[in-house]
Structure 1
Amino acid sequence: MATRSSILAWEIPQTEEPGAVGYEPPPTMLSFALFGGLFVLIGTSRGSHSFTHTMSPRLHFRLYHGCYGDVMIMETPGIPCDNTRMIACGIRGSEMFAEMDLKALQSYQILIKEIGLRHCVDPALIAAIISRESHGGTILLDGWDHTGLKFGLMQLDKKIHHPVGTWDGKEHLLQAVGILTDSIKAIQKKFPSWSVAQHLKGGLSAFKSGTEAIATSADIQADYVNDVLARAKFYKKRGF
């Protein structure tokens, strides 16, 4: 009966000693060397160049800002300061309100990110609108505002839209964020020479008051838009 060593000797062709004239390494050695070299190359590449530009915003949320501009580089003064608002205004005022709503919004974080990916909208922007419109739903009565005219986390006006789904459900957010993106695209088409930031600000204002209300950049609701952008920056830094 053949021993294990004799079987191995039979399976691996005997060749010249390394360094001898005419020496050729066995195919198994060549394959191992090629595989080992490839492994080292991949390992070196991974070690020196981290894959920060992944396509999944779930892994690197701060790199994902959707299709309508990066809110983190857009200038905003936050809530305007005037005689009626001397303390809760500016960037700090917006951040104060955003922080008050943070706990309520965190319960919707997974859903907000899913809807953001579906519509290519920064989840932080969606969170900011929800904060501004309904304080994360905490001030609503069965999903409606105190007038009974606006519905859901993003407060769709029933006189203009036909709200669908439950007030804090996926169907409602899909509809509302879809209306937001339609508003931004309408502003892009209406004012093609505007910058990315102007298109987003105009779209936010149109979401609130309608596209027809905007004839020039001066018609953008600065109070609403600047507050939303400041809150979006706050939420972006907290995982949205």
Structure 2
Amino acid sequence: MGNSCASEVIMKVDTTGASKKTALQYNLTYKGVNASHQMAQADAARLYDLRIIKRVGREFGIEPAVIAAIISRESRAGNLLQEGAWNREGDLRQCTERLADCIEQIKFRHPDWSKAHWLKGGIAAYNAGVANVHDYDHVDEYTDHGDYSNDVVARAQYFKKKVFKS
């Protein structure tokens, strides 16, 4: 997608935020964008070295806030991982490369979609597989809890505003 594209686009992506099932993982009694923002806020202090996230984001043309949002969604910013169970930069690079590839595949499969749709579709494909992203209106149909891209996008928007300002 290119660095500037992802950076400019994330704030324009439409999102419904987290489902009730996802929000319950943080003991929240509400769902939606506010729940996603609350979960991102809870994870923000646990995000490891932001310089690594920024560097890997530049390398693959992915907005660092999106990378942080996936880290938040997948592991509560590392809280669910055993210390030393992964190579942070190496694994982050591998996962980000996979995300960039998913976005490119969605772009190829859906050339008529907008940049915002490619990004959200790529995030859904990262979780559910490219073959399971058929149309934009049902982008999360096969994702975990049926909300993966919507939740990640909402968290990314929070991180873009609050953590990766600039």
Alignment TM-score > 0.5, same fold: yes
Please state how far the C-alpha of 1:233 moved relative to its aligned partner: 1.1
Q: Look up the equivalent residue of 1:67 and give its one-letter code.
A: C
Find the aligned partners of 1:171 and 1:178 in 2 and give their Cα distance: 11
Task: Give the TM-score of the pair, scaled to structure 1.
Answer: 0.58
User: 2: CA distance between counterparts of 1:67 and 1:143?
Assistant: 34
Paired with 2:68 and 2:91, the residues of 1 have a C-alpha distance of 14
8 Å contact from structure 1 (residues 184, 202) kept in 2: yes
Q: Which residue of the partner structure matches residue 143 of structure 2?
A: none
Q: Which has the higher contact order (CA 8 A, sep 6+)?
A: 2
Question: CA separation in 2, counterparts of 1:170 and 1:176?
Answer: 10
For structure 2, the 5+ residue unaligned runs are: 141-145
Pairs aligned (count) = 153
Other-structure match for 1:137: 78
| Partner residue of 2:5 out of 61, 67, 72 | 67
Matches within 5 A, 1:10-89: 66-68=4-6, 69-81=8-20, 87-89=29-31
After TM superposition, give the deviation of residue 131 of structure 1 in Å. Answer: 0.2
- Give 1:189's aligned amino acid: F
**Partner Cα distance (2:137, 2:13) in 1:** 17
Give the Cα separation in 1 of the matches to 2:52 and 2:16. 29
Deviation at residue 125 of structure 1 after TM alignment = 0.6
**TM-aligned CA deviation for residue 219 of structure 1:** 4.1
> Stretches of 4+ moved more than 6 A in 1?
none
Please, which of 196, 199, 207 is the counterpart of residue 118 of structure 2? Answer: 199
Deviation at 1:67, TM superposition (A): 3.0
Give the aligned partner of residue 172 of structure 1: 91
Give the aligned residue type for 1:205: A
Q: Of the candidates 84, 107, 114, which is equivalent to residue 55 of structure 2?
A: 114
Asked if 1:96 corresponds to 2:32, the answer is: no
Structure 1 spans left out of the alignment, 5+ residues: 1-64, 145-166
| Percent identity over paired residues | 36
1:137/1:72 CA distance change after superposition, 3 Å: same
Of 69, 80, 83, 1:128 maps to 69
Distance (Å, rounded) in 1 between the aligned partners of 2:162 and 2:75: 19
Change (3 A) 1:141 1:239: closer
Give the greater-gyration-radius structure (CA).
1
Residue 150 (structure 2) pairs with residue 226 (structure 1): yes
Amino acid at match of 1:118: E
Provide TM-score, normalisation by structure 2. Answer: 0.82
Question: C-alpha root-mean-square deviation of aligned residues, in Å?
Answer: 2.3
Q: Distance in 2 between matches of 1:235 and 1:208?
A: 20
CA–CA separation in structure 2 for the residues paired with 1:130 and 1:237: 17
Q: Alignment partner of 1:136: what SS? A: coil
